[in-house]
Amino acid sequence: MIEHLDGIFERVDFRGKKGIRINYLDTCENFPEHWHSPVEMIRVVQGGYQITGNGKHYLLEEGDIAIIRPGTIHALEAPKNGERVIYLADVEAMRKIADFEMTLTILPDVTVVSGTDEIYKKIQGYLDAVEEEYRLGEPFYETLIYSYIVKVLGILGRYELSRQPENMTETIPSQKHGKILMDVCNYINEHCTEDLTLGQIADLAGFSKYYFTRIFKDFTHDSFYHYLNGKRISYAQQLLVNRDYSVTEVALRSGFSSLPAFIRMFKQWKDCTPTAFRNMYSLDCMNCMKPEKNYKNMSACEKK
């Protein structure tokens, strides 16, 4: 079961102070639509698994690995028999790294990697290392685990960038503008709280608004204003955790022109008001205790 669910927001309990959690599941248990801030990775050990992410369905086969981007509304459906490992990692601190934020930008809501993909063995090896460090819990295990997770996401970002031309039409040459678009996204990420417009950013990139709109959508899988608002909402979430700021202050600091506009946009993105989010979100949920020494042998297994 999901331990802490408020509406569709899951407050992940890391059970200590490490921001990492691994669940080994061998029961037939489904999880309803929910979203959370940590990145989620799923490896199917035996049987299959089905993920529904923002309305799209992904059917995982034995051995497949899925990566669910933070903030993605998703549901999980398990077969009657099977085993899978679920990895959850808090990556908020890493968002300050431009390349890391760019990786989360260009990745789809759900990425499925199978044995036929060229990056499969590398990702499988990194996840094996994550499980081993988590199981042993030796000094600096958290640092090592995060290094493997960053490698997984970095490889995925590079792989997704290399695959983009296969999905693009000849009339939208995003490939040759990839460096410019990455710089533009980094600029938006750093200045999202400012009064940015489509015209300003298109001029910054050196394109017309019409052309920029097309190649930006192909590159990020998102429209300019939806992307910008998403960054502002992510920034607002971080501020809401700090109760020294009023909701109005959070709205203005996050780039919204008024409190009503902020509340309306926040509800569209998170299905709750900023105040409700603040009340249900606790820093205590980011704490986790020392990992279990043998998580595969827990009674009834750790639940998601």
Contact at 8 Å (CB) between 128 and 285? no
The total of other beta-carbon atoms located within 10 Å of residue 3's CB is: 13
pLDDT at 120: 96
pLDDT at 263: 94
pLDDT at 1: 56
pLDDT at 216: 87
In the chain, % helix, strand, coil (3-state, to 5) comes to: 50, 20, 35
pLDDT at 164: 55
Residues of the chain with confidence (pLDDT) below 70: 1, 16-17, 96, 98, 163-176, 281-304
0.85 exceeded by the pTM? Answer: no
pLDDT at 60: 94
Q: What's the rounded Cα separation, in Å, for the pair 185 and 191?
A: 10
Contact at 8 Å (CB) between 36 and 9? yes
Q: First CA to last CA across the chain, in angstroms?
A: 6
